[in-house]
Amino acid sequence: MLNFRVREEFIETLTKCLERPANFEEAMFLTTANPYELPLLLKAALYIKEKYFGKIVTYSRKIFVPLTNLCRNKCAYCGFRKDPGTPGAGFMNFEEGMKIVKLGERLGAKEILVSTGEKPETVHSEAKKALRKLGYSSTVEYVRDFEEKALKETEHMLPHTNIGVLSKEEMAELKPLNASMGLMLETISERLMEKGMPHEHSPWKHPKIRLKMIREAGELKIPFTTGILIGIGETWEERIKSLLVIREINREYGHIQEVIIQNFMPEPGTPMEHHPPPSPIIFLKTIAIARLIFHRETSVQAPPNLSLSAYQTLLLAGINDWGGISPLTPDFINIRYPWPKISEVKKVTEELGYILRERLAIYPKYIVKKWFPKTLERRILKIVNTNGLVRRKYELF
Ligand code: SF4
């Protein structure tokens, strides 16, 4: 005898969430979807995705330049950060970085994801010394000069900076060089900063610090990418509240171009190497509920490389974007999880009846609204069509 049934309240709640974005109580109720209700939740998310984004699913053809793997935080799940003095720790020099950028451009990439550990020079004397040797006093200055060089020496490439917490002044300094910027909120939970929790040794992962930066990016009108990391010990309530605070900020400033729903994956050699990743069901539920929370407000994205054997299923939960995919560099943050080939992503997207299109690091709607710096105007408008998507002649699969 099967005990599951579709509850009337579940249908009522879903119906309301089709008409307008979900509130906290509704989103929390949807997390209780039983096996009979889950397909309805996915169907509702898919309906909203198609209503606002049609058949198009986007991605950004990018390369990844990790200018330093040193960091002032020590997140318990991080497989990217290295301790000063250990093999492979340090700064990438400009020559090495530019080699990636130029090769990426030849392979049709248009986004330079400049990602680093966060301001290591503020806590590690080795990082300070290494920067001084390169002629710099901070990681931000180093990134700024690298991006200037990259813009000078390429035709189509557009930086997207994601180097941890920045002050408003630092963001303003980098703004003319960037198509967009990013910082994962990860979680609103201060509990995860307590002893024995993943952010115990990461004082700059405090949600208040990160929310401040996300808000200030809005004040500066910088198209912004953020998101949540799921499966690191947060509760459903903390997950939903994290999504809702992002929505609240976006309603005030209108700058959140995409929300990434990222699943934790264990990295060997880290304190959380034996911590299980979130189940596929939790991941799908979170994506679907995110879709019902954001409706058309922001793009909902999930990375295909962290669900490699079944990433096609993420489309069934209502994502409308695959994020940045590199035809050249690995995902340095999740080094054990290579991106699928872009031709493969196109194939699995089309198998479900969708159309894969390339976008830039700045989302189409912000191009149409002209939220880009004057300095990048010519380069952006040359590549995109009137809808803000990459023109067919510049797309490569
Ligand atoms: S996840 Fe980011 S902030 Fe945390 S230790 Fe790694 S590089 Fe630093």
DSSP string, 60-127: EEEEEEE-B---S---TT-SS---TTSTT-SB--HHHHHHHHHHHHHTT--EEEEE--S-GGGT-HHH
Atom of ligand 1 nearest to the CA of 116: 7
- Percent pLDDT > 90 in the chain is 93
- Report residue 356 as tokens: 């894969």
78 pocket-lining for ligand 1 (C-beta < 6 Å) = yes
Average pLDDT on 239-247 reads 98
In order of 78, 222, 248, 249, 255, the CA distances from 19 in angstroms are: 39, 29, 19, 21, 23
pLDDT score of 171 more than 60: yes
CA 180/CA 147 separation, integer angstroms: 13
In order of 226, 258, 289, the CA distances from 236 in angstroms are: 19, 21, 11
- pLDDT tens-place string over residues 33-71: 999 999 999 999 999 999 999 999 999 999 999 999 999
279, 387 Cβ separation under 8 angstroms: no
Unique residue bearing structure tokens 């954001």: 294
CA 27/CA 22 separation, integer angstroms: 6
CA 83/CA 193 separation, integer angstroms: 20
Indicate which residue's Cα is closest to atom 2 of ligand 1: 117
Q: At what angle do helices 280-294 and 236-253 cross, to 10 degrees?
A: 30
Average pLDDT on 200-215 reads 98
CA 316, 352, 243 angle in degrees (round to 5)? 25
Task: Please give the residue that has the higher pLDDT: either 150 or 337.
Answer: 150
117 pocket-lining for ligand 1 (C-beta < 6 Å) = yes
CA 286/CA 263 separation, integer angstroms: 10
- Give me the pLDDT at residue 308, please: 76
- Give me the pLDDT at residue 181, please: 98
- Give me the pLDDT at residue 309, please: 79
Query: DSSP assignment of 153-208, as one string?
Result: H-SS-EEEEE-S---HHHHHHHGGG-SEEE---B---SGGGSTTSTTTT-GGG-HH
Structure confidence at residue 153 as a pLDDT band (50, 70, 90) = very high
Residue-range domains of the chain with CATH: 41-394 (3.20.20.70)
183 pocket-lining for ligand 1 (C-beta < 6 Å) = no
- Give me the pLDDT at residue 338, please: 84
Structure confidence at residue 2 as a pLDDT band (50, 70, 90) = low
Lowest mean pLDDT, pick from 219-223, 305-309, 386-390: 305-309
Average pLDDT on 227-239 reads 98
Structure confidence at residue 387 as a pLDDT band (50, 70, 90) = very high
Structure confidence at residue 307 as a pLDDT band (50, 70, 90) = confident
**Phi, then psi, of 15 in degrees rounded to 5:** -60, -45
Neighbours of 95 (CB within 10 A): 7
One-letter amino acid at 121 equals E
Going through 209-345 in order, the beta strands assigned E by DSSP cover 224-230, 256-263, 299-301, 321-325
Helix ranges (H only) for 207-255 are: 207-219, 236-253
348, 314 Cβ separation under 8 angstroms: no
Structure confidence at residue 305 as a pLDDT band (50, 70, 90) = confident
pLDDT score of 232 more than 80: yes
Look up residue 372 and give its DSSP letter.
S
pLDDT score of 376 more than 80: yes
Q: How would you write 126-143 as a 3-class SS string?
A: HHHHHHHHHCCCCHHHHH
Atom of ligand 1 nearest to the CA of 204: 3
Instruction: Provide the mean pLDDT of the chain.
Output: 96
Unique residue bearing structure tokens 């809808």: 387
333 pocket-lining for ligand 1 (C-beta < 6 Å) = no
Average pLDDT on 88-104 reads 96
Atom of ligand 1 nearest to the CA of 117: 7
Structure confidence at residue 334 as a pLDDT band (50, 70, 90) = confident
pLDDT score of 1 more than 90: no
Q: How far is the CA of 207 from the centre of ligand 1 (A)?
A: 14
Mutate to test the pocket of ligand 1, among 75, 86, 197, 333 (most ligand atoms within 8 A of CB): 75
Unique residue bearing structure tokens 């054990």: 336
β-bridge pairing 355-359 and 299-301: unpaired
360, 394 Cβ separation under 8 angstroms: no
CA 390/CA 392 separation, integer angstroms: 6
Q: How far is the CA of 360 from the centre of ligand 1 (A)?
A: 25
- Give me the pLDDT at residue 4, please: 78
75 pocket-lining for ligand 1 (C-beta < 6 Å) = yes
Structure confidence at residue 182 as a pLDDT band (50, 70, 90) = very high
CA 371/CA 181 separation, integer angstroms: 12
Atom of ligand 1 nearest to the CA of 74: 5
Task: Tell me the whole-structure pTM to 2 decimals.
Answer: 0.96
Average pLDDT on 340-360 reads 95
118 pocket-lining for ligand 1 (C-beta < 6 Å) = yes
26 pocket-lining for ligand 1 (C-beta < 6 Å) = no
- Give me the pLDDT at residue 134, please: 96
Structure confidence at residue 332 as a pLDDT band (50, 70, 90) = confident
Indicate which residue's Cα is closest to atom 4 of ligand 1: 75
- Give me the pLDDT at residue 333, please: 79
Average pLDDT on 99-104 reads 96
